[in-house]
Structures are given as C-alpha cells and as structure tokens.
C-alpha cells in the first residue's frame, strides 16, 4: 500500500506540474506576442485588392505595435496555395492570412487541402469594395429594372463580361441573374480591364465590376451605373442605388471583401490582440483616407459577427455555384 501511495503521489505531482506548465504557455505567449517578425500571407498577386488593403492596414498595425510585419504574396490556384500555407502553419500568431476570396474559392475547388471553416479562424473584416452593375449608355437602360425587363423580354439574348470564371465579377453577375430570374451569356476574359472594355465598346450588355476599374469611365459618361451590389450605397457614387433598392431581393448582393484569418488553435489571447490592433488600425485617419481613395468601404463587425458573416458567405457561395452551374475544379 505504501508503494502504491508513493506511485500515486508521484503521478499526481507530475500531472500537476504538466498542467501548470501548459496553463502558463498561453498567457505568456499572448503577453510576449509579438516577439519576432509576423508574416502576413496574401495568396494573390501584388497589386490585387487584398494585397493593397493588407499593406495599408498592416503598415499601421506595425507602427502601433512597434513590430516588423512582412507581407508576402503567394499566389496560385485561385489563392488556395497561400491559404493552405497559413492553414497548416504553427498556430502562434506569427502567420496570418489576408484574403478576399476564401468563401468563393471554397465553393470553386472540390478538393482543397484544407477546411475553410475549421482550419482557419476568421478574425476581422478589413473592408469591402462594392461591385457596380455597368452597361453601355447606348442601351438606354436608366435603372436595373429596365435591364431586367429587357432580359426577360428576350430570354437568353443578353450577355455579360467578367474578369474570368470564378472572379468576383463572375459571381457578382450570377447573383444578379439568380435573384432577378433571367439568363445571360457569360463572356469571361483574363482580367477586369478587358471585361470593362467590352462594355464600353458595346459588345457586352453589362458587367459587374469594382468601382476602382470603372469610376473614371462612369464619370466620363462612357459607362452607365445601374446599381451597386451592396447592402448600402457607396461613397464613391452615392447617387447609385443598391440592387435591393432597385427591387431585387437581398441575395442579389455579392459582398467582395478582404479579411484577416489565423490558423485554428491560435491562442485566444493572441487572436484577441490581433483583432484589437487591427480594429485600431482601421480607425486610424491615414488608413481611412487611403481606403477612401481606393473605394474601400468599412465593415464594422466584432469577431463573432464576422465569423457568422463568413459562415453565411461560405454557404451562399456553395449554393450559387450549384444554382448557376458554375464549373468547379
């Protein structure tokens, strides 16, 4: 019995020491973070929306914390290569993902090497760039309702241009078609510039594009704006109604946003600190001024609200791919 008691006491003492050591890890890690360089992975090319937004925000975060933050572009496979890098990274707060198409990529690729909902934690939305429905002025459509009526009068007669299969302009247009209940031929290009040129030339009936690629043409009268694919009007052209105000249901909106994610199992205290520092950066006047120039609109949400928003967006994109029969890879 004495031998048994000695073994039992030794086992309990050992367990308590291990438990104490483990309990001390997370608070110490959160208190000391960051103790080294932070890498922010943007899984798209330099100059992409997510890349520009990430650099603007992370520059401010670095100044606030006195830290070194390195933004790395790791493009490929629609952004899923870079996203996988972060999903498989050590969950210690030193590898962060900024991505603007995670929900759509999750719907487009059948066999991803990671689980978008379980391997990554949505932390905070950085901002959205609303899409706008543009048409050639010569079509004579004054409202989105005019275009929808024309499409339904001659089923299948209209076409639309996009920046490519799976792009925001493709998904944005398909949301319009599905919610309004009409069909149009998809003409994909290799980029937004070509897609917009087709509308200006009158060869495409409409396109759903970022204000960044259309604003100058809209102001010059080379394009007409019928509606904004957003839940509120944009500061870029506040006179343009939303698709909902134009008479379409809420599912007509395709939110094009960039957000910050970390690997699953990142210590909660570190996740909280990342959220707080990023939120403070988004409130900084310099960041807000740069966002205004880029046409980036705020998305004020706390972590729980954004997590729900992201889950809903994942589900909506999966449903859209099914309804619109968008080819998956």
Least trusted range by pLDDT, from 21-25, 39-43, 133-137, 178-182: 21-25
Note the pLDDT of residue 42.
97
Note the pLDDT of residue 21.
40
pLDDT tens digits, one per residue of 250-276: 999 999 999 999 999 999 999 999 999
Q: Strand pairing of 95-99 and 38-42?
A: parallel
Q: Is the pLDDT of residue 6 over 50?
A: no
Q: Is the pLDDT of residue 134 over 90?
A: yes
Domain boundaries, the chain: 36-128+256-324, 131-252
Selected from 3.40.190.10, 3.90.1310.10, 3.10.20.70, 3.40.50.300, the CATH number assigned to the domain covering 131-252 reads 3.40.190.10
Q: What percent of the chain has pLDDT over 70?
A: 91
pTM across the whole model: 0.86
Q: Is the distance from CB of 106 to CB of 319 less than 8 angstroms?
A: no
Note the pLDDT of residue 29.
60
Average pLDDT, the chain: 91
Rounded CA gap, 245 and 228, in Å?
9
Rounded CA gap, 300 and 287, in Å?
14
DSSP codes, 115-156 = -TTTTEEEEEEEEE--EEEEE-GGG---SHHHHHHHHHHSTT
pLDDT tens digits, one per residue of 187-224: 999 999 999 999 999 999 999 999 888 999 999 999 99
Q: What percent of the chain has pLDDT over 90?
A: 84
For the record, the structure tokens of 308 come out as 């729900």
Q: Is the pLDDT of residue 11 over 90?
A: no
Residue at token pair 């972060």? 86
Model confidence band, residue 1 (pLDDT cutoffs 50, 70, 90): very low
Q: Is the pLDDT of residue 76 over 80?
A: yes
Rounded CA gap, 82 and 59, in Å?
20
Model confidence band, residue 50 (pLDDT cutoffs 50, 70, 90): very high
- At 196 the three-state DSSP class reads helix
For residue 176, count other CB atoms closer than 10 A to its CB.
28
- Please tell me the class of the 36-128+256-324 domain: alpha beta
For residue 177, count other CB atoms closer than 10 A to its CB.
20
**Which residues, in sequence order, are CB contacts of 241 under 8 Å at separation 6+?**
144, 227, 228, 233
Q: What is the DSSP letter of 326?
A: P
Residue at token pair 């259309």? 214
pLDDT tens digits, one per residue of 299-316: 999 999 999 999 999 999
Instruction: Calculate mean pLDDT across residues 225-239.
Output: 93
Q: Which of 228, 232, 263 is nearest to 84 (CA)?
A: 263
Dihedral angle computed from the Cα positions of residues 299, 304, 309 and 314, in that order, rounded to the nearest 10 degrees: 130
């Amino acid at each position: 019995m004495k031998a048994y008691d000695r073994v039992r006491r030794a086992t309990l003492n050992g367990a308590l020491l291990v438990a104490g050591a483990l309990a001390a890890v997370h608070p110490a890690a959160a208190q000391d973070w960051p103790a080294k360089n932070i890498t922010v992975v943007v899984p798209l090319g330099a100059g992409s929306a997510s890349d520009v937004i990430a650099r603007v925000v992370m520059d401010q975060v670095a100044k606030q914390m006195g830290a070194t933050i390195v933004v790395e572009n790791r493009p490929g496979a629609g952004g899923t290569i870079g996203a996988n890098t972060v999903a498989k990274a050590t969950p210690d707060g030193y590898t962060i993902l900024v991505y603007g198409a995670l929900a759509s990529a999750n719907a487009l690729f059948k066999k991803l090497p990671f689980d978008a909902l379980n391997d990554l934690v949505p932390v905070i939305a950085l901002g959205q760039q609303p899409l706008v429905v543009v048409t050639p002025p010569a079509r004579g459509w004054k409202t989105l309702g005019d275009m929808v009526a024309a499409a339904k009068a001659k089923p299948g007669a209209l076409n639309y241009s996009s920046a490519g299969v799976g792009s925001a302009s493709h998904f944005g247009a398909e949301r319009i078609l599905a919610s309004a209940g009409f069909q149009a031929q998809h003409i994909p290009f290799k980029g937004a510039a070509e897609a917009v040129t087709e509308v200006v030339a009158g060869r495409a009936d409409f396109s759903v594009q970022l204000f960044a690629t259309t604003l100058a043409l809209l102001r010059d009268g080379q394009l007409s704006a019928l509606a904004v694919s957003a839940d509120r009007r944009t500061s870029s052209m506040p006179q343009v109604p939303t698709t909902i105000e134009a008479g379409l249901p809420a599912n007509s909106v395709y939110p094009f946003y960039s957000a910050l994610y970390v690997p699953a199992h990142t210590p909660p205290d570190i996740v909280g600190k990342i959220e707080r520092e990023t939120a403070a950066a988004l409130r900084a006047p310099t960041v807000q001024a740069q966002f205004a120039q880029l046409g980036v609109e705020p998305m004020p949400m706390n972590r729980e609200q954004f997590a729900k928003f992201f889950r809903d967006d994942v589900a909506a994109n999966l449903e859209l791919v099914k309804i619109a029969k968008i080819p998956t890879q």
